[in-house]
């Protein structure tokens, strides 16, 4: 199961993390058959160090350092909020207004922990209404959003979108089971529709500005094509 490498040099590797592949073993995830860091270590030969993380169910661009020093340098950029991340996400309903900032404090991995400020900017890119009956509604509305987290809290985008009653499709923890089942049964889509599409940062050694994009996997791209959705730089093409 080779990992798709988007960029590689002596200091840094950027990969396109598949959905449902955990990045590393943890207290929350210890039952997986494979972990990204283990697969990548075998693939590139030598140690790798995570610079940040993505949820197990989330796909997209992930930065991995070749040394602990480079990982620390990248970590400083993330902590200083010098890294700009853009996610493509499919949600239930049509969020209004079409562009807004969700400003809602969130706890860490423990729901009972202290809440810290958290902000997510979103923009509605496309909408669709499908003629499938669910509950008391004969048709269902869905939207494609561009989400840009301005902070890096645990499951921030997922929790923020659930907070405004537009949960991510396929989110088993914070989403709607009836809509998740609809996507499996009618669209053959069994993944959470949250994808880390683009990241802007400075190279940790040269300081040069870098922009990296991760293409959508087949399941996500097929859905865009089915709904007739296109995005600048992203389309339904596989």
Catalytically active residues are 55
Distance between CA atoms of 201 and 210, rounded to whole angstroms? 5
Report whether 219 contacts 28 (CB < 8 A).
Answer: no
Distance between CA atoms of 67 and 47, rounded to whole angstroms? 7
Report whether 236 contacts 221 (CB < 8 A).
Answer: yes
Closest CA to 153 of 55, 72, 61, 28: 55
Distance between CA atoms of 14 and 202, rounded to whole angstroms? 13
User: Which stretches of 9-113 are assigned E, i.e. beta strand?
Assistant: 12-17, 49-50, 59-65, 84-92, 99-103
- Residue 172: strand, helix, or coil: coil
Strand partners, 12: 65
Q: 5-20 as b/e, with b when 16 or more CB fall inside 10 Å?
A: ebeeeebbbbbbbbbe
Q: Token pair of 229, please?
A: 């959705």
């Amino acid at each position: 199961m080779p990992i798709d490498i988007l960029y590689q040099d002596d200091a840094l590797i950027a990969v396109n993390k598949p959905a449902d592949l955990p990045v590393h073993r943890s207290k929350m995830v210890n039952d997986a058959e494979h972990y990204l860091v283990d697969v990548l270590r075998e693939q590139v030969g030598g140690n790798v160090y995570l610079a940040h993380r993505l949820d197990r169910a989330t796909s997209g661009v992930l930065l991995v350092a070749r040394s602990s020093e480079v990982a620390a340098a990248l970590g400083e950029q993330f902590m200083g909020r010098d890294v700009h991340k853009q996610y493509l996400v499919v949600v239930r309903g049509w969020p209004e207004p079409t562009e807004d900032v969700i400003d809602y404090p969130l706890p860490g991995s423990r729901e009972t922990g202290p809440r810290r400020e958290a902000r997510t900017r979103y923009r509605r890119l496309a909408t669709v209404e499908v003629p499938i009956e669910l509950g008391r509604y004969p048709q269902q509305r869905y939207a494609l959003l561009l989400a840009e987290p301005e902070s890096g809290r645990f499951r921030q985008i997922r929790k923020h979108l659930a907070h405004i009653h537009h949960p991510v499709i396929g989110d088993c923890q914070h989403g709607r089971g009836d809509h998740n089942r609809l996507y499996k049964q009618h669209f053959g889509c069994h993944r959470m529709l949250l994808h880390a599409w683009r990241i802007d940062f400075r190279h940790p050694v040269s300081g040069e500005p870098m922009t990296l994009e991760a293409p959508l996997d087949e399941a996500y791209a097929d859905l865009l094509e089915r709904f007739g959705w296109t995005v600048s730089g992203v389309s339904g093409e596989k």
